[in-house]
Amino acid sequence: MTRPLLDAARDRTGRRLASLAQACRRALPRLTVPKASFAVPLAMTIALISTPPAQSETTRIQRVISPGRIEAWLVHDTTLPLVAMEFAFVGGAAQDPAERPGVASLTSSLLDEGAGDLDSRSFQDKLAEKAIELRFDAGRDTLNGSLRTLSENLDSALELTRLAVTSPRFDPEAVERIRQAQLAMLRRRSTDPSSLASLGWSARAFPNHPYGRPVDGTLESVPMITRDDLVAYAGRVMARDNLKIAVVGDITPEALGPALDKLFGALPAKAQLAPVPDVEPQGLGSVEVKDLNVPQASIIFGGIGLKRNDPDFIPAFVLNHMLGGSAFSSRLFKEVREKRGLAYSVYSHLAPLDHAGLILGGTATKNDRAAESIGLIREEYLKLLKDGPSEDELADAKSYLIGSFALRFDSSAKVAAQLLQIQIDNLGIDYIDRRNELVGAVGVEDIRRVAKRLSADPALLFSVVGRPTGLAPNGG
């Protein structure tokens, strides 16, 4: 089933990674570099660990190019006998046929359900026999793979991954079994207010666009998906030119290069992706209400944000932290929870999709307080855009964002996931070294500039599921 992109960062070998995590937290503050050292070396120091002389040299991000010209970013580390690999094919659910959403999700769920000469049971037995973790999932813009293995089992893990990626079977029994599991999940979501609010927001914001369709499909579309649809999707999307790879652990660059060709060399050279147009959310300024007999109203809200490649993304990232990015110090948290007790949690975040820049958020509150909560969220967003933050508020936001950055790298899984996302976002191999300085350089004028841009169309679309007092179903 579809899992969030960063779900792969939940490494089941966490206990064995405790020593690596501790060393990472000690070393990562060294990532911030002076402004004068912005030159981009081919391999940037990530300083994950300080290793004894008998082990590897200081761990670095290295760009590895295979003999077949397949590229991966590698953090070579021998502290623990583990290898973590994250990879992604750009395309995702946005490449689903318009009339059959859910193809990418079903495809991803079936890649490890039999491949090559191994049927589903045999394939899964091989994984279990050597404690290999291999997972796939689909998001809106990417189809992702995640591999975890002990280095002593690396050859077996790479071979099973190769089979899953290049020779998936899509056997009828497996297709029907996974289809039924996906339908069961969709039936559960059909009564979950939070899921319904999120789906409702996307459908209203992006009518007649791939982003408006459910990643996991619908109860109507999933039964229509055929094996031919799955084979066609894999053939179009899984190719070498739209592939990003990150590897962390006990494998050398010399060993990784040939392994990349073995893993992915049989894939088509070029993906056959359908064009996806850039889009802005529709329905801004409105409140969409779906009736559901629950005591709390679930609320998803969002509006126009910035794409990840926008020069003002980092200032917008800092601005959002002050709005709703912090669990305890954001304006939304203070106004909605602390002062009025309307909700246990309220949040916002930037959601830079490949073809749309968004600011999104959510909360849940009693039905008779939903309208008040919506009004407060609108008010605080407009106030921040109009008046901007105080110097102290800005300084506190930057301090938190800089200080918490190291927590994204406290396991091999998280490191691999971050390196993969940096590649997908095309931020450069030196981004980890530059990131904290970029945040630290944001000033009041930068916030005012990005606030002015967002103020050009600051209206928010709200999707509410429940029985909110004073808000009629289907709008209001």
Q: What is the pLDDT of residues 201-248, one digit of tens each?
A: 999 999 999 999 999 999 999 999 999 999 999 999 999 999 999 999
Task: Give the SS3 label for residue 465.
Answer: strand
* Range in 46-50, 108-112, 430-434 with the lowest mean pLDDT: 46-50
DSSP string, 264-297: HTTS-SS--PPP------SSTT-EEEEE---SEE
Q: What is the C-alpha separation between 113 and 93, in angstroms, rounded?
A: 20
**What share of the chain has pLDDT > 70, as a percent?**
87
Task: Kindly indicate whether the domain formed by 287-466 is annotated with CATH number 3.30.70.330.
Answer: no
Least confident of 77-81, 176-180, 304-308, 311-315: 77-81
CB 304 within 8 A of CB 275: no
pLDDT at 24: 36
Q: Are 64 and 71 in contact (CB under 8 A)?
A: yes
Band the pLDDT of 56: cuts 50, 70, 90: very low
Among 113-122, 321-330, 353-362, whose mean pLDDT is lowest?
A: 321-330
Decide which of 5 and 413 is more confident: 413
Rounded to an integer, the average pLDDT of 359-379 is 97
Residues, the chain: 476
Name the CATH topology of 5-264: Cytochrome Bc1 Complex; Chain A, domain 1 (3.30.830)
Q: Which range has the worst mean pLDDT, 22-26, 38-42, 165-169, 268-272?
A: 38-42
Sequence spans of domains, the chain: 5-264, 287-466
Q: Would you say 376 and 335 are in contact if contact means Cβ atoms under 8 Å apart?
A: yes
Lowest mean pLDDT across 243-247, 293-297, 407-411, 464-468? 407-411
Which of 32-46, 289-303, 324-338 reaches the highest mean pLDDT? Answer: 289-303
Q: How far is CA 169 from CA 156, 163, 179, in A?
A: 19, 9, 15
> So what's the pLDDT on residue 474?
67
Per-residue pLDDT band for 327 (boundaries 50, 70, 90) equals confident
Task: Give the C-alpha separation, 310 to 357, whole Å.
Answer: 9
Give, in degrees to the nearest 5, the angle at Cα 474 between 473 and 476: 75
The pLDDT, as a whole number, for residue 124 is: 98
Assign 199 a pLDDT band (cuts: 50, 70, 90): very high
- Res 101: pLDDT: 98
pTM over 0.75: yes
Q: How confident is the model at residue 328 (pLDDT cuts 50, 70, 90)?
A: confident
Percent over 90 (pLDDT), the chain = 85
Are the beta carbons of 109 and 163 closer than 8 angstroms?
no
Q: What is the mean pLDDT of the chain?
A: 89
Backbone angles phi, psi at 463, to 5 degrees: -115, 120
Residue 339 phi, psi (nearest 5): -80, -35
Give residue 306's identity as a one-letter amino acid code: L
3-state secondary structure of 363: strand
pLDDT score of 473 more than 70: yes
pLDDT for 192 equals 97
**H-helix or E-strand containing 137?**
strand 133-138
Helix (H) / strand (E) element for 75: namely: strand 71-76
pLDDT at 326: 82
Residue 304 CB coordination number (10 Å): 19
Region 247-268 average pLDDT? 98
Q: Which amino acid is at 14?
A: G
Range in 15-19, 64-68, 132-136, 232-236 with the lowest mean pLDDT: 15-19
The residue assigned the tokens 């008779």 is 368
Q: CA-CA distances (angstroms) from residue 445 to 17, 37, 394, 451?
A: 42, 24, 11, 10
| 16-28 burial: b if 16+ Cβ within 10 Å, else e | ebeebbebbeebb
Q: Do domains 5-264 and 287-466 have the same CATH topology?
A: yes
d(CA 355, CA 217): 20
